[in-house]
Chains A and B, each alone.
Chain A
Amino acid sequence: MRTGKVIDVGNKPDDTQLKDARKGIVKELDAPLPQVEIIEVPEEVAPKKTWLRWVVAGISTIVGLEVIRATSFAFSVSPLLGWATTAVFSGVGVALTFKTVGWYRAGKQLEQRARLKSAAIDAYAARSTKVRDNWVNDAKQTLTDKQTLAFIDDIVTKRAHTDSREMITHVDSYYRAKKDPAAQALIANRAKRAALGIGASPFATLDMAIMVWQSVKLCDELCKVYGITPNNRVRYRLVSQILKNTFFSGASELVLSEVLPEMGVSLAGQLVGRAGQGFAAAVVVSRFGLAANKALRPVPYLNQEPKLKSSLAKIIFNSGASELTQMGVKLINEQKTSAPGDR
């Protein structure tokens, strides 16, 4: 028999404790209460790279001086040539300015996305309605996808009780249901194309070109799925971020035999002999795609993070025998009927 246990709670709270306690109020209402408002939180200013500004200012000054010298020289030769040179330089200058601003703004998207994701991790840990409101404000400033924003709005207006952890869980579920499947399909599709292209390509340089081309296309497609406008700066930043996080972790990871355990026993057991270069390309593109997917998502994967094996399984099981042969893959159950097609 248990006689109960002593828990050090339930004593009469002293005055200092009661100071912050709510005593409880009951009121009669003439009209419904207004909805809970979201508290505006000023955006945190990121530390600026002042050295880069000085370098840009220095280069701009040198270029500016050179332009003035060239224009002066053109005017000294002929006023007509001078005006023509001025027009050309002005046109180039305006185009460059627009391009640079566009490049700069587009590049900011990834930084904002990373900041939002980092805030999501904090919000998940916090379990607070105030932190939820802050994250929602950040999301509204960062995300452009109307459906996602409507989903977030729906939670805030209909579910005042939702705390920050629940909000992040809901957004993760939303992405898992609505966005991730499309991203997974794109990754499998581009990886298969790369595998088939490299399987058919007779030159190593062409192999490289196919890989880069498919990776860039995949990067653009994933950006669109997750509501980011792709441009060269985004591609560059995304690729460099992925290279840093994924491929520089060890060259051995690119070796297929090292990747097989990741694919799971059932799938790895299906492969026989040497999987060809084509399939290796599929592995690389899939890994790139998965890393890009992770970087572009505004919330971390809370569960069911897509694995390399699921992408590769899609490629293998959705490919015909001839396609597999072209990739250099041979399934065990087909071994007895035909020989593996090595390149």
Chain B
Amino acid sequence: MSIITDLGDNFLDLSKESLVEGLNKLKSHGRHQWQRARRERLRIGVAGLSRAGKSSFITSLVRQLEASDESDLLGFSPALENRIDAVEVLPPDDTRGLVDFNYKKQLTRLTATPPSFPEPTAVISGLDISISYRSRKGKRKNLVIEITDFPGEWLIDLAMIGMDFSTWNRWQCSLWETRRNGEEFAEFSKRLFALNLEDQHAVERIRDDYRRLLMTTRESEQGALLQPGQLCTKGHVVDVFPMACAELIDENPSALSEWLEQAFSHYVEGTVKPFFERYLSSIDRQVVLVDVQQVLTTSQTKLDETSEALSLILGKFDYTDDHSWFNWLRPEIDKTCFYATKADRVLPEDHLALRKILQRVARDAMRFSKSHGAAVVIDAIGAISTTTSGRTSDGEMLEGTDKNGKLQAYQNPSLLVDDELCFELNQSFVAPEFVPIMNAGIPLHIRLDSVLEQLVADWME
């Protein structure tokens, strides 16, 4: 079906040019699927809510692979066994219909003086990593790893698939009620309820207001579940989208509810489903990144919301307990890897606590993956490390350099005490912001070799 879709509007156009173009597309699709069937093409999905560190994760992962001769990949068996011959970073395959991740630009930021973190994801982008390697039996092989980066806000929209407008509206309104600016939303609802649908200017105005309200709330309170997520990406234009309206709950159907319902269907069918089918439904392995420390510095509500968001997102995927030959026909995920990011910002002794907290945050999502047969991995990682640890009279500390070149050290507060999350301690503590540590152009990392081992090593046997 996707092949036909990709042929575009000219599918019925029988001119020579369009036929040649169509045949070329069919050919590249065929090659692409053949490679997937032969396990020469692995598609990895990197999911995570906004600011979880997806772009940093991808940039560092690619850099570590690209410089596998020099980088510290002790835990990645193909690198340890010297079986990697060459690694090439390529723009995404034409069949994927993605813009380039712009890895070079992200790397330039990292290698600048002072180094800075990769830019957050603004649009859906991707890249392919082509690895030439020798199998354990000594046979020369090639594996292409496809990685897709997309704004974290977009993922939460997956929850809308399978919902109707009234269910969605009730859910969103209940979420807005718990926000600090709940009153502002109530005010907005009243204005929306009184909207004259004939007045196009008023309609545009109220749409802008909703967009602004949503963005402000997500930025200030990190309301992970507030939708539509695609509205929150700066520079991304969405023409038709649904809006939540508290006044419509328990009301009889009206012209407004019908209009919003149409917008909801249009958004789900025209925006969310194509996004899911095109970029997310053919994933072989799923990475889920969670910024556990961000959760700890906010509140229990944030923890619950993140947990719910993760289970809603991961509940939309198909899973399998065995990656069979037929997986290319009906892609299913055989392994889900949950990673607590930014582990470099806590003491090594707290990494266990990070894993424990991640288990709590992603409990439902993990249970769902496991119950459908997919293997589940949990770990604490630091894609681009900003600290190293050392000892002082105060005990073990983390040291790093800030943007002004000042060397500082800190000891983070406990994350867990007697299995209880230390929200208050972490809310009152502000850790210094350090710049990434680069070692001959390669970012220092924590456990990215384990990540590679878990994600790709078995495809490189």
Interface residues of A (CB under 8 A from B): 1-5, 7, 9-13, 17-18, 20-37, 127-129, 151, 154-155, 158-163, 166, 169-170, 173-174, 176-177
Contact = CB atoms under 8 A, between A and B. Distances in A.
A1 B348 contact: no
Contacts of A170: 74-75
The residue in A20, A32, A159 that gathers the most chain B C-beta atoms within 10 A of its C-beta is A159
Nearest to A3: B174
Interface string B59-94: 000000000000010110100110000000000000
Nearest to A160: B389
Interface residues of B, number: 59
B258 interface: no
B325 interface: no
Contact of B391 (A1, A7, A34): A34
A328 B304 CA distance: 68
Given A2-B312, A7-B304, 13 more contacts: A4-B305, A5-B307, A22-B411, A24-B413, A33-B388, A33-B390, A33-B392, A127-B352, A154-B74, A169-B75, A173-B75, A173-B77, A176-B81
Given A10-B303, A36-B396, A160 B413 contact: no
Contact of A33 (B349, B397, B446, B450): B397
A13 B394 contact: no
A13 B417 contact: yes
Contacts of B418: 13, 17
B391 A37 contact: yes
B421 A9 contact: yes
Contacts of B424: 12-13
21 contacts: A1-B167, A1-B174, A7-B300, A9-B421, A22-B425, A24-B429, A26-B408, A26-B432, A29-B409, A34-B391, A36-B391, A37-B391, A155-B74, A158-B72, A159-B72, A159-B74, A161-B343, A161-B351, A170-B75, A176-B77, A177-B77
A22 B77 contact: no
B390 A129 contact: no
Contacts of A34: 390-391
B318 interface: no
Contacts of A154: 74
B389 A29 contact: no
Given A37-B391, A127-B352, A23 B74 contact: no
B407 interface: yes
B149 to A, nearest CB: 26
A126 B155 CA distance: 36
Nearest to A6: B304
Contact of A9 (B75, B167, B300, B343): B300
Contacts of B388: 33, 160
Contacts, number: 150
Contact of A22 (B170, B391, B412): B412
Contacts of A155: 74
B104 interface: no
Contacts of B399: 29, 32-33
Given A10-B423, A27-B397, A173-B75, A4 B410 contact: no
Contacts of B413: 21-24
B407 A29 contact: yes
Nearest to B304: A4
A30 B305 CA distance: 42
Contacts of B397: 25, 27, 33
Given A2-B308, A36-B390, A17 B352 contact: no
Given A13-B420, A154-B74, A24 B308 contact: no
Contacts of B412: 22, 24
B220 to A, nearest CB: 20
Contact of A32 (B80, B174, B390): B390
A36 B422 contact: no
A31 B409 CA distance: 10
Given A12-B424, A20-B417, A163 B351 contact: yes
A17 B364 CA distance: 28
A25 B352 contact: no
Contacts of A28: 406-409
Nearest to B407: A29
A111 to B, nearest CB: 29
Interface in B325-370: 343, 348-349, 351-352, 360, 364
Interface string B375-393: 0000000000000111110
Leading 10 A-B pairs by shortest Cβ distance = A33-B390, A10-B300, A24-B429, A161-B348, A24-B413, A21-B414, A177-B81, A1-B171, A29-B407, A26-B410
A31 B412 CA distance: 20
A154 B72 CA distance: 10
B425 A21 contact: yes
Contact of A21 (B303, B392, B422): B422
A235 to B, nearest CB: 31
A168 to B, nearest CB: 12
A26 B345 CA distance: 13
A161 B74 CA distance: 14
Contacts of A37: 391
Nearest to B379: A166
Nearest to B424: A12
A27 B408 contact: yes
Interface in B102-125: none
Contacts of A36: 389-391, 396
Contacts of A174: 74, 80
Contact of A23 (B80, B391, B425): B425
A113 to B, nearest CB: 22
A31 B420 CA distance: 36
Given A1-B170, A17-B418, A176-B77, A25 B410 contact: yes
Contacts of B446: 159, 161
A22 B456 CA distance: 38
